[in-house]
Amino acid sequence: MKVTVARPTGLCFGVRRALLELENALKEHGRIYGLGSPIHNPQEIERLQNLGLIVVETPGEVPSGQPAFIRAHGISPEVRDGLACRTQLIVDGTCPFVRNVQEKAAFLKQEGYRLVVVGDAAHPEVQGILGYAGNGACVVSRVSDIPAGLEKGKTGVVCQTTQKVSVLQDIVQALAARAAELRVYNTICSATLERQRAVMELAPRVDGMIVIGGRNSANTGKLVEISKGCGVPTLWIEHSDELEGGWIQGKEKIGIAAGASTPDWLIQELISTLESARSPRGKD
Ligand code: SF4
């Protein structure tokens, strides 16, 4: 059995950078309050909790004056103000690519555009962006979500950084046919595109693809969709413990891809598990 890892795959620049800042802060303060899970990966969260991370959902849960951490997804100006009322010790791990979307949304709002945010309405990154987008902004995840009434006025588009290019293309095409004036910023980040392309390139060369990453990770889910869309049997796992011998049996070439929130150590564990499966005594 040959095991090939998609390149690039796993932790993206933004999450790696945020985790580094978080770990440095944990070393300095011993304990830090993270606003939302800093990474969509339960195994990594458990490791960080053991180092002193306490995950909370709202600024009101941060004890006054205690250090707080903003994850790579970023937050809205309103939530940031709420946090600043609780503490001045804020470690900001907002990814620069997410910051760029927030700035583009604020710019379009200022220029009088009605904002369409292409993305998943429930995703924290999108909720943060909406805080910059102004009243009347809407979230669209498919063409049928596009609201009526765009024939007048100006429509601006930004996109959740982890969306599939094809989703943005379809929505922009439909908007172009309806909106009186349209201004689009493609804010899908290069890390996402590169990881999606790596899966597309690897899928035709393997008998099966294992995608490792949190089940709550949107970008991992997109990699699974892409791999399945290439017609290759695809297994989505969070941890190498979930690997069943039956699935790999009969497959000579296995591909591995990992979401942008999957830490290196989980990928490494999966490779070791596959290597032991290849050699029952783990020695050849
Ligand atoms: S996927 Fe892109 S935008 Fe999101 S954290 Fe990673 S580098 Fe930043």
* 275 carries an active-site annotation: no
Q: What is the CATH number of domain 2-10+191-278?
A: 3.40.1010.20
- Residue among 44, 57, 111, 125 flagged as catalytic: 125
Q: Note whether 13-95 and 97-188 share their fold.
A: no
Say what the pLDDT of residue 185 is. 98
Q: Are 176 and 182 in contact (CB under 8 A)?
A: yes
> Which one of 161, 165, 185, 261 would you pick to mutate in the ligand 1 pocket, going by the greatest count of ligand atoms within 8 A of its CB?
161
Nearest CA to ligand 1 atom 5: 14
| Domain topology for 97-188 | Cobalt-precorrin-4 Transmethylase; domain 1 (3.40.1010)
- pLDDT score of 282 more than 80: no
How confident is the model over 201-214, as a mean pLDDT?
96
Integer Cα distance of 44 and 23 in angstroms? 12
- Computed over every residue of the chain, the mean pLDDT equals 93
Q: How far is the CA of 178 from the centre of ligand 1 (A)?
A: 31
Ligand 1 neighbours (beta carbon < 6 A):
12-15, 72, 95, 97-98, 161-162, 189, 191-192, 260
| Domain topology for 13-95 | Rossmann fold (3.40.50)
More confident residue, 48 or 193: 48
- pLDDT score of 281 more than 70: no
How confident is the model over 74-82, as a mean pLDDT?
98
Integer Cα distance of 147 and 16 in angstroms? 37
Domain ranges of the chain: 2-10+191-278, 13-95, 97-188
Nearest CA to ligand 1 atom 6: 14
Cβ count near 197 (within 10 Å): 14
Burial of 179-189, coded b for 16+ CB within 10 Å and e otherwise, reads beebebbebbb
How confident is the model over 28-37, as a mean pLDDT?
96
Residue ranges in 230-263 assigned as alpha helix (H): 245-248
Q: How far is the CA of 45 from the centre of ligand 1 (A)?
A: 18
Integer Cα distance of 225 and 199 in angstroms? 10
